[in-house]
Amino acid sequence: MYGAIIGDIVGSRFEWQPTKDKDFELFAPDCRVTDDSVMTTAVAEALLEMQEDAGEEEILQSFRESMQTWGLRYPRAGYGGRFVQWLHERESEAYYSFGNGSAMRVSPCGWVADNMEETRRLAALSAMPSHDHPEGIKGAESVAAAIFLARTGASREEIRDYIEKEFDYDLHRTCEDIRPDYSFDVTCQGSVPEAIIAFLDGESYEDVIREAVAFGGDSDTQAAIAGSIAEAFFGVPEELRAKAEEFMPEDMKKVAARFAETFMEG
């Protein structure tokens, strides 16, 4: 999940001042963790606390409660207006969203299960408390599926083929094809395929982040998504992880370290 958080931090300063240039300073004083990191942490903590025999309603409730707890703890992290309302609703019903919030927070689900079916089930359940539109669920599942494939040894061509077949995303484009005419888009269908392409095109973890930010779109979220897949494929350089931790609050660092130790190491 550090892969997503680093992408979020690096991309945060470009969300409203977009760039099409890959040559930029990765970490600057005005970088910060945003809602992408907060909600990724919420999903990770829910998975850490979840009982192995939990049923679907229990899993949904666990995700919902963790998201609301973390969201209210960090209320100014940059959530969308409807999500802010959802955070404060006592009986929080999903609102049929297909925003990319479902995809930017899903990365922990890609590390927990030992098969694709369970990976996709957890991803869908992590989306459903708020983003229950088919495109919102699809965005979450596609990212988690890519992470599962990357961490279990699939090639990038195999990942491309699986995602195209299962989710009907056009991944036979390049970042250079997309970049000139691309603009800010917070829908899953308008931002998740591009983030996956940044992973497919990038030459290293860092290069993937740079490709995603340089679309000039929803930079923090697309870099979080692309970075979450790149982590599973390339790994995260220790120096980038250490630098990101300088921007992370202590409670977030504790969850990230615990999640990595439980599910990602050894």
For residue range 184-222, list pLDDT tens digits in order: 999 999 999 999 999 999 999 999 999 999 999 999 999
Cβ-proximal residues to 112 (8 Å cutoff; 6+ apart), any chain: 47, 118, 119, 122, 263
The separation between the first and the last C-alpha atoms of the chain, rounded to the nearest angstrom, is 16
Whole-structure pTM value: 0.97
Query: Chunked in runs of 10, what are the mean pLDDT values of the chain (266 residues)?
Result: 97 95 97 98 97 89 96 96 92 92 98 97 97 98 98 98 98 97 97 98 98 98 98 97 97 97 85
- Give the start-to-end residue ranges of the domains of the chain: 2-24+31-264
pLDDT score of 91: 80
Residues 1, 259 contacting (CB under 8 angstroms): yes
Q: For 109-144, give one letter per residue: b (16+ CB within 10 A) or e.
A: bbbbbeebeebbbbbbbbbbbbbbbebbbbbbbbbb
* Separation between Cα atoms, residue 256 and residue 260, nearest integer Å: 6
Q: What's the pLDDT at 266?
A: 59
Per-residue pLDDT tens for 84-106?
999 998 788 999 999 999 999 99
**What does the CA dihedral 185, 162, 256, 80 come to, rounded to 10 degrees?**
20
Structural contact between residues 94 and 128, judged by C-beta atoms closer than 8 angstroms: yes
Q: Name the CATH superfamily for 2-24+31-264.
A: ADP-ribosylation/Crystallin J1 (1.10.4080.10)
Range 83-88 contact pairs with CB under 8 angstroms and sequence separation of 24 or more: 83/35, 83/130, 86/130
Computed on alpha carbons and rounded to an integer, the radius of gyration of the chain in Å comes to 16
Structure confidence at residue 53 (pLDDT): 83
Contact predicate 99/186, CB 8 Å: yes
pLDDT score for 265: 79
